[in-house]
């Protein structure tokens, strides 16, 4: 979520979040009303939609908008998409200088650093992201991938394991860990992770899956 300018905006967004929480709780409690054969309580339904409308009004009235850090971030994204990596890095760095806890800016800067083959800087940014938000599983996975490229297996597996501990439906982490096991010739574990990754949507090629199955069965 974007950050907002001014203390008044911070208070407004806090109130928005509180109304959203209340609305979601009410919706959860009223789900049974929409089941077939259930009698709907009109007053509860009206209250739900009133809360939703009130939330929308807060967004309009608080005058929320992108601040300097977000503006620099947006410029950086546009530059990176245009292949202007040096300029993009400058904008992401500017965003970070404005807001030292802007995790999204660190993430995008790390992505550009990877493209520029500056892997030490990318790892440093992923590490900073994790310090800011220890539950951001994508950062563990991305850092683990860079460690795997360096064949630093201990750190790579630690990061993949942590990513999956936080989100055990993260298909890309299963896929990357499978490839790391493959590189270490632990084909049984590689096959297990490849199957999980494929089931969760990270497409594993039929060739790779067959190769792993053959290696586990001793055909190759």
Token digits for 17? 């979040």
DSSP single-letter state for residue 152: -
Q: Which of 15, 34, 61 is the last residue of a domain?
A: 61
Band of residue 3 on the pLDDT scale cut at 50, 70, 90 = very low
Query: What would the pLDDT profile of 163-173 be if each residue is shown by its tens digit?
Result: 999 999 999 99
- Determine the Cα–Cα distance for residues 23 and 25; give it in Å rounded to an integer: 5
Tell me what the pLDDT averaged over the chain comes to: 81
Model confidence at 47: pLDDT above 60: no
pLDDT on residue 157: 98
pLDDT on residue 105: 95
Instruction: Judge whether 159 and 126 are in contact, CB under 8 Å.
Output: no
Task: Report CA-CA distances (Å) from 41 to 22, 49, 209.
Answer: 18, 13, 53
Instruction: Judge whether 158 and 152 are in contact, CB under 8 Å.
Output: no
Give the residue, 117 or 56, on which the prediction is more confident.
117
What pTM does this model have? 0.70
Query: What would the pLDDT profile of 70-95 be if each residue is shown by its tens digit?
Result: 999 999 999 999 999 999 999 999 99
Residue 120 located in a structural domain: no
Token digits for 87? 């300029």
Residues contacting 109, CB < 8 A, separation 6+: 76, 89, 92, 93, 96, 125
Model confidence at 64: pLDDT above 80: no
Q: Which of 19, 41, 61 is the last residue of a domain?
A: 61
Instruction: Return the axis-axis angle of helices 103-115 and 68-81, rounded to nearest 10°.
Output: 20
Residue 126 located in a structural domain: no
pLDDT on residue 66: 72
Q: What is the CATH number of the domain that holds 219?
A: 1.25.40.10
Cα diameter, the chain: 68
Tokens 């609305």 correspond to 23
Residue 186 located in a structural domain: yes
Residue 194 located in a structural domain: yes
Domain carrying residue 198: 135-220
Residue 158 located in a structural domain: yes
- Determine the Cα–Cα distance for residues 58 and 54; give it in Å rounded to an integer: 6
Domain tally for the chain?
A: 2
Query: What would the pLDDT profile of 131-140 be if each residue is shown by its tens digit?
Result: 999 999 999 9
Model confidence at 7: pLDDT above 80: no
- Determine the Cα–Cα distance for residues 102 and 131; give it in Å rounded to an integer: 11
- Determine the Cα–Cα distance for residues 125 and 136; give it in Å rounded to an integer: 13
């Amino acid at each position: 979520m974007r950050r907002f300018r001014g203390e008044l905006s911070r208070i407004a967004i806090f109130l928005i979040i509180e109304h959203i929480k209340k609305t979601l709780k009410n919706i959860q409690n009223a789900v049974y009303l929409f089941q077939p054969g259930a009698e709907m309580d009109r007053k509860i339904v009206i209250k739900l939609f009133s809360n939703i409308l009130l939330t929308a009004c807060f967004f309009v009235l608080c005058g929320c908008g992108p601040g300097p850090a977000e503006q620099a971030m947006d410029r950086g994204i546009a530059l990176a998409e245009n292949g202007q990596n040096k300029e993009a890095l400058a904008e992401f760095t500017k965003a970070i200088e404005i807001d030292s806890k802007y995790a999204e800016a660190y993430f995008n800067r790390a992505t550009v650093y990877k493209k520029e083959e500056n892997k030490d800087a990318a790892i440093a940014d992923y590490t900073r992201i994790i310090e800011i938000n220890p539950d951001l599983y994508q950062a563990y996975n991305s850092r683990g991938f860079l460690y795997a490229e360096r064949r630093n297996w201990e750190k790579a597996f630690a990061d993949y394991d942590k990513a999956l501990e936080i989100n055990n439906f993260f298909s890309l982490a299963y896929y990357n860990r499978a490839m790391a096991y493959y590189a270490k010739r632990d084909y049984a574990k590689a096959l297990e992770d490849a199957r999980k990754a494929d089931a969760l949507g990270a497409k594993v090629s039929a060739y790779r899956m067959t190769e792993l199955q053959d290696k586990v069965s001793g055909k190759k």
